[in-house]
Each structure stands twice: as structure tokens, then as C-alpha cells.
Amino acid sequence: MSDDIAMHCTSWRVAVEANNLGPWKTIPDECADYVKDYMLGRSYNVDLEKVSHESGIYAKSLELGADGMDAWVFDIDETLISNLPYYSDHGYGLELFNNVQFDKWILEGVAPAIKPSLKLYEEVLSLGFKIILLTGRNENKRNITVSNLKHAGYQKWDKLVLRQVIKLFKGEHEREKSASAFKSDKRKEIMAEGFRILGNSGDQWSDLTGTSTASRSFKLSNPMYHIP
């Protein structure tokens, strides 16, 4: 890889993480080796460790209410557990996303923990936060998701919110909403129950932005795919 290509791809990745790019479906062809090297190398883990560390500092700085309603929201895929084994077989984001193939991978239930996130999860749990898992996975993946999470080391949470496939008003389905709209709506419902969302961790900006946002959000690195 030439220095110019490496510089170009670094700039592209920074733009991804800063939410400066418009919607994109695959990584640039010329950045395939760069993204692979980043995901398999030390840099990706260092970036994850930094996010976990800063999140932990913030969590420890808070004084939680006595009512037990202070919550931390976690996304699941590329936040708590890693689908890197799947993406390593699909070009690290170079191929267009295939729902059928990805669902087969999910049903194997073997996605490993992202270790810095597991550490953060254990920290916020020990501090007394309610743990709310908010994922774009469909409700029919609940059992395998629970099994995978527990196998990866996540043993306890207070809510696991997945997409429903029932009809909503005007014929819309939750699974047809954008991730940002879906997660905004669910955070609103969570807050309506009395929870205070003090922290939110996710690998996509759609996990973190929109409405009914957390007091503070933390973005994990993910240059492999974009979910609006």
C-alpha cells in the first residue's frame, strides 16, 4: 500500500468516525487492505480501549440517584460482541451487506466479546447502573442473542430491546424504520418509564444520535459498515 493510499484511507476512516460522510454501502475498493490491517492490528483494539477507559471515567464521576433508575444503554453488534469473524470472510466491508448470510452467522451464536466493552459493562454494572441493551436485531433473534451474550460473558441486564415485526400505525413496521428512528423511539419509551439514560455506547452514529439522547454518548470505532 502506497503512502498516498494509506493517507487517503486514514482520512476516509476519520471522516467515518466523525460522522462527516454521507450514507455509504461499502468501503472504498482502494481501502480494502487498509481496513483489514486496521481491524486485525493493534490500532483497532487501542481505539476500543480508549473509548472504554473514557466511558469508565465518566461513569465513575456520576452520583447515581437512590431510586435505581439511572441507566446505561449498550448497542450489541460491534459494541458488546464482535462480528469480525463474519466480516473477515466478506472483505471487511468491501462486499455489499447480505441479510441472509449475516442472519446465518447470527444464528451460530458464537460472536466473541469485545473485551474493552466487557470491562466497561462490568464497571457500570458494579456502579449500580441499570443495563439496557438496545439492538437493531429482530425479535425472532432474541433467544440466540441472549445465548451468545451469556457465552461471551454478559450475564445480566435489565432490558433487552429488539425490533418487533408487528404492524404499527399506518402499516409501518419497526424493522422498516431507520436505525436512528427506531432507537430514538425506544429511548423515548425507556425515558417515559422513568429511566435516566446517563450513558450510551454504540458503534454507529445511529445508535447515539436522534432524539431522547443520553446525557453522554460514546462512539466505538467501526469502519466496516454504516447503518443510517
Q: pLDDT tens digits for 50-83?
A: 999 999 999 999 999 999 999 999 999 999 999 9
At 95 the pLDDT is 96
Rounded to two decimals, what is the model's pTM? 0.94
Give the DSSP H or E segment for 114.
none
Q: How far apart are CA 72 and CA 74, in angstroms?
A: 7
- Kindly list the distances between the CA atom of residue 41 and the CA atoms of 37, 49, 83, 147, in Å, as whole numbers in the listed order: 6, 13, 16, 28
pLDDT tens, position by position, 103-117:
999 999 999 999 999
**Residue 133 host element (H or E):** strand 130-138
The segments of the chain whose pLDDT lies below 50 read none
> Domain map of the chain by residue range?
3-219
List 199's β-bridge partners, or say none. Answer: 72, 216
3-219 has CATH 3.20.20.150 classification: no
